[in-house]
């Protein structure tokens, strides 16, 4: 009978003496202590934090000077919620820099575009706003209608996904607009990213070659002015360290409760650090829970300890 199975290259069979010698060598190797790196030790602190948090934590801290990453569940997918708005605001600046758009062009929207958490677009309904003003409102106030108007003007969720790909981010994706993008149950791929991917993307936007110096400074200032994350990672950082962030929250039915915070911190005497933190609670939340916010604040404390090492 002819064996039609694919050929698999197998090592030659070992005699009993070779097997015994190999087993002894493996036994000795298992006794050699493995010294954890500094990044490993701080990743363990994040794991311990997760163990007491009644949920799943994903966190990545990126040293922009060395490229070193402290990461726990860094490859796990989490929803963006509103945190995608940081990248959307940056895309406006990047397209202006490339000459693709005029960021000072005024656009308008209708009352039907408004939705909860749309303070800027509600106030400016009658007069409209420039793309730059909408970008700032999207980042600083997390204005949902502003984000949708920008997505509509710039080519939809797929345009933001393409922007991430242009940065080398092959993971992050946006598939829907507000508010549908917040419905991301466990296992869903749409409208997700990973902590490692987003820590690197934030670094590319704020400290890489994507934006020129004036636009990087403008985006950085928008993150600093954002107040929605003051009880999250920034609550665990020293008050005198320059920092900025963008948050996201989803307590939609079936979501449990998802809390996001990503941004940067500039400790004195060392390169800036970018961070991306995600916490999905094990139980369904019906309102923003202080205990969940405290988990991200504790992430900030771990980050500060790592930065001050």
* 20 vs 51: CA distance, rounded Å: 41
In whole angstroms, how far apart are CA 273 and each of 13, 103, 115, 169, 304? Answer: 52, 29, 34, 18, 10
* 276 vs 256: CA distance, rounded Å: 20
Q: Which of 82, 87, 118, 250 is catalytic?
A: 82
In this structure, the chain runs to a length of 309
Query: Is 225 among the catalytic positions?
Result: no
Strand positions, DSSP E, the chain: 55-63, 69-72, 78-79, 106-107, 129-130, 192-193, 243-250, 258-265, 273-281
Q: Which of 158, 180, 188, 225 is catalytic?
A: 180
* 297 vs 271: CA distance, rounded Å: 21
Query: Is 180 among the catalytic positions?
Result: yes
Structure tokens at 206: 């704020």
| Angle at CA of residue 197, ends 235 and 172, nearest 5° | 110
Residues marked as catalytic? 82, 180
């Amino acid at each position: 009978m002819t064996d039609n199975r694919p050929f698999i290259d197998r090592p030659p069979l070992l005699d009993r003496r070779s097997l015994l010698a190999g087993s002894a060598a493996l036994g000795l190797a298992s006794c050699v202590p493995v010294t954890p790196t500094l990044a490993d030790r701080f990743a363990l602190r994040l794991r311990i934090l997760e163990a007491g948090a009644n949920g799943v934590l994903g966190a990545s801290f990126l040293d922009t000077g060395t490229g070193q990453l402290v990461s726990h569940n860094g490859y796990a997918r989490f929803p963006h919620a509103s945190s995608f708005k940081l990248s959307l605001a940056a895309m406006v600046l990047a397209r202006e820099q490339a000459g693709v758009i005029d960021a000072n062009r005024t656009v308008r929207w209708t009352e039907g575009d408004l939705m909860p958490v749309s303070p800027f677009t509600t106030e400016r309904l009658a007069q409209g706003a420039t793309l730059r003003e909408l970008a700032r409102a999207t980042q600083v106030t997390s204005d949902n209608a502003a984000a949708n108007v920008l997505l509509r003007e710039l080519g939809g969720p797929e345009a933001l996904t393409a922007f991430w790909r242009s940065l080398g981010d092959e993971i992050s994706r946006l598939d829907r607009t507000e508010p549908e993008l917040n419905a991301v149950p466990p296992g869903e791929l749409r409208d997700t990213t990973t902590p490692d991917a987003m820590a690197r993307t934030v670094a590319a936007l704020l400290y890489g070659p994507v934006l020129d110096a004036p636009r990087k400074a403008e985006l950085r200032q928008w993150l600093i002015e954002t107040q929605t994350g003051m009880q999250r990672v920034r609550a665990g950082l020293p008050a005198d360290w320059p920092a900025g962030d963008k948050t996201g929250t989803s307590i939609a039915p079936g979501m449990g409760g998802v809390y996001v915070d990503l941004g940067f911190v500039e400790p004195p005497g060392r390169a800036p650090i970018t961070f991306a933190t995600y916490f999905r609670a094990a139980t369904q939340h019906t309102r923003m829970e202080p205990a969940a916010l405290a988990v991200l604040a504790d992430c900030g404390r771990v980050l500060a300890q790592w930065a001050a090492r």
